[in-house]
Structure 1
Amino acid sequence: MSVISESKHGVEYLTVDSTFGAVKGFINKDYPNVAQFLGIPFAEPPIGSQRWLPPTPKAPPTVIDATKFGPSCPQQNKGGRPSVYNTDVPELQIRDETSEDCLSLCIWAPKEAVESASTVRLPVIVFITGGAFLVGGTTVPYQNPTPWVESSQRHIVVSINYRLTIFGFPNAACLNPHERNLGLLDQRLGLEWVHKHIASFGGDPSRMTHFGQSAGARSIDAHSFTYPDKPLVRNIIMNSGCALPPLPVSDPGCTHFSFLAKSIGFEGDDTVAELEFMRQQPAGKLVDAIREHWETSERPFLSFRPIVDGFTLFDDYEERVQSGKFTSDLRDDE
């Protein structure tokens, strides 16, 4: 593994010959001791016929330009109505554009650790953003860890994008019941990517901590029940959320997906044809249709969030805790 440094127009770049391929990052002059690798794809684009399918690992490219954020996943906010969230605290909102081709992750590492990756192994924090499974992503300013990594120099931080709202949690009737919480499957694939490749950036895959905020906290706790024997992490930090109590069952009959399809032109009751029709619709059209329904109607309240599927989410967490059906060998680390 090698690191190549170069400077252009006053910006320092680092190219890491990683186990995933050559990854080109950069050094921000305001944080000269932090190497940033942004928008690294960990899955193939979930677009077209791949929309609403589980994520597929990204084929290693020859060179990855990781000098800027990738797109955020499509969001489902409350529309144009003024609120504290969208008028007074812009630091809580994503930056740049959105796209379905959004399954990427970002790495912030001490520059020295990256340059000495063959001998240095720092603990890694893998962050899952919150946002009610409707909004959020790696570009949210207040969650940017660059200043902290600059100050600490003892940790590497990774943040992972995952599909949200109807794209991550469609609950369509004809989908495999174990493949409806796609956003949670995205998170897991991202974590597997980090575990496999973070050593190339100076990280220690045996000292990984899963850290989630709000919906992210609920997610990482859920993973400890889904993958009790393969946690990939040694610690978890849950900030404002956990798997208990289970999410309320908002659409047990898988009707919301069908309601939305009919509202934008689908006719009939064939759920397979319905899914194909919806796959042909632009992402923006689906987001707009949900927002317009929220703003003009009361029933049904369209909800596209995680559902109990017996694989990624359960309805018997108390019993599972009592019987030890969760990752129980996590250890404190220094």
Structure 2
Amino acid sequence: MTRLYNSSSEVEYLTVNSTFGSINGFISKDHPNVAQFLGIPFAEAPVGSKRWLSPIPRTPVEHFDATKFGPSCPQWFDGPPSIYNSDVPEFRINDPMSEDCLSLSIWVPKKAARAPLENQLPVIVWITGGAFLVGGTTVPYQNPTPWVESSQRHIVVSINYRLTIFGFPNAAGLAPHERNLGFLDQRLGLEWVHKHIASFGGDPLRMTHFGQSAGARSVDVHSFQYPDRPLVRNQIMNSGTALPPLPTSDPECKLFTFVAESLGFKGADPVAELEFMRQQPTEELLDFIKKHAASKKPPVLSFRPVVDGYTLFDDFEERAKAGKFSKLPAIIGTVGDEGNALAPYNPNGVDELIAEGITRNYFLKPAAKMA
């Protein structure tokens, strides 16, 4: 059931009595046929003693105000000039950051939000990109409100997940299955959608997993991690698959230890090291990584997914040939000038030879092989 009431001439507020609790969203004047439910928490805040633990499902709420985005997961942007920080900042998040960031946002045609059980529309569950270092549900270019407004035939859900050292710590004091926490966040968000989306007018049996870049690799990774429990019916992988080599290889967990020792940890006990790091402020961790990157001294502190034998494997091609994946209908694609964004930045135009090599070898060939 829902109830609708006017608050002002600019916004209508809509409350959905969902299986997760009473969720208050809104309909804006600019997009009068879309109900928006923003920043709904699907996990407990991964802070304090819960930092660097598997996400814990959020217990249902009595009431939640979903009229504004929750904070984005901690990340940093400063660095050498690039297309993303020089030309298209609309691909960057547009809100404050906090470790209490495990939330999702839902965009629903107004008619479905008003009568959810009578509609049950297909659902796109969106996984944002950003090299597992940046990104989130507030990226302006990825806001689906206009799309849902024009379509009126589907729902979009966007999921936040932990990034950089918070999502992919690869700390020796963690169990192997907790070294790529961002993937576990994505899965828990997907489980939340599957469980509760019917309350918002969505059909849990018609869910499509859709990701771009790191999000596309994530979608593919889930296909191999959960071959018998995909929870979705279709997949769309835009500019990424599980096949390209990972940019980070740190089997001895040296990067996490380097940060800990640089911040004052002494000793060799990985559990004590982890506890020390849990006491460090969010801003101090990010600031150290940023300043170290600016110094250009080794090691390169790139906290991204690593092979752990649980979320990520080192034999995706063999697993694919053996049929060890979810075997869902899938769209796999890339774009013609993909490498332009990753080649060394030049405001007058990238080196076309380098850019074409990146497009061909890192995107096009893996996409064709996986397809």
The alignment partner of 1:12 has SS state of: strand
State which drifts further: 242-251 or 256-265. 242-251
Take 2:244 and 2:156, find their aligned partners in 1: how far apart are those partners?
A: 29
* Aligned residue identity for 1:170: P
Take 1:141 and 1:3, find their aligned partners in 2: how far apart are those partners?
A: 29
Displacement, 1:90?
2.0
TM-score, normalising length: structure 2? 0.87
**Which residue number in structure 2 is paired with residue 30 of structure 1?**
30
Residues 225-244 of structure 1 mapped to structure 2, 5 A cutoff: 225-244=224-243
RMSD (Å), alpha carbons: 1.2
Residues 217-228 of structure 1 mapped to structure 2, 5 A cutoff: 217-228=216-227
**Which residue number in structure 1 is paired with residue 172 of structure 2?**
173
Take 2:232 and 2:204, find their aligned partners in 1: how far apart are those partners?
A: 8
Residues 276-295 of structure 1 mapped to structure 2, 5 A cutoff: 276-295=275-294
Kept after mapping to 2: 8 A contact 1:249/1:308: no
Kept after mapping to 2: 8 A contact 1:76/1:165: no
Structure 2 residue runs without a partner (length 5+): 332-371
C-alpha distance after superposition, 1:68-109 (max 9, x if no partner): 000000013234x54432233221110110000000000000
Q: 1:99 to 1:211 in 2, by over 3 A?
A: same
Kept after mapping to 2: 8 A contact 1:130/1:213: yes
Matched, 1:312 2:306: no
C-alpha distance after superposition, 1:21-44 (max 9, x if no partner): 000000010000000000000000
Q: 1:135 to 1:248 in 2, by over 3 A?
A: closer
Take 2:47 and 2:132, find their aligned partners in 1: how far apart are those partners?
A: 19
Displacement, 1:61?
1.2
Percent pairwise identity:
71
The alignment partner of 2:64 has SS state of: strand
Matched, 1:137 2:160: no
Take 1:314 and 1:22, find their aligned partners in 2: how far apart are those partners?
A: 40
* Aligned residue identity for 2:35: A
Take 1:176 and 1:267, find their aligned partners in 2: how far apart are those partners?
A: 21
Number of paired residues?
330
The alignment partner of 1:106 has SS state of: strand
Take 1:150 and 1:166, find their aligned partners in 2: how far apart are those partners?
A: 37
The alignment partner of 1:260 has SS state of: helix
Matched, 1:204 2:188: no
Residues 1-334 of structure 1 mapped to structure 2, 5 A cutoff: 2-10=1-9, 11-79=11-79, 81-330=80-329
* Aligned residue identity for 2:60: P
State which drifts further: 179-188 or 266-275. 266-275
TM-score, normalising length: structure 1? 0.96
Displacement, 1:331?
7.5
Displacement, 1:9?
2.4
Kept after mapping to 2: 8 A contact 1:26/1:37: yes
Displacement, 1:64?
0.7
Take 2:256 and 2:239, find their aligned partners in 1: how far apart are those partners?
A: 29
Kept after mapping to 2: 8 A contact 1:246/1:314: no
Take 2:52 and 2:164, find their aligned partners in 1: how far apart are those partners?
A: 11
Displacement, 1:267?
1.2
Take 1:331 and 1:131, find their aligned partners in 2: how far apart are those partners?
A: 22
Which aligned runs of 4 or more in structure 1 are off by greater than 6 angstroms? none
Take 1:331 and 1:137, find their aligned partners in 2: how far apart are those partners?
A: 24
Take 1:57 and 1:190, find their aligned partners in 2: how far apart are those partners?
A: 9
Take 2:55 and 2:151, find their aligned partners in 1: how far apart are those partners?
A: 34
Take 2:39 and 2:59, find their aligned partners in 1: how far apart are those partners?
A: 15
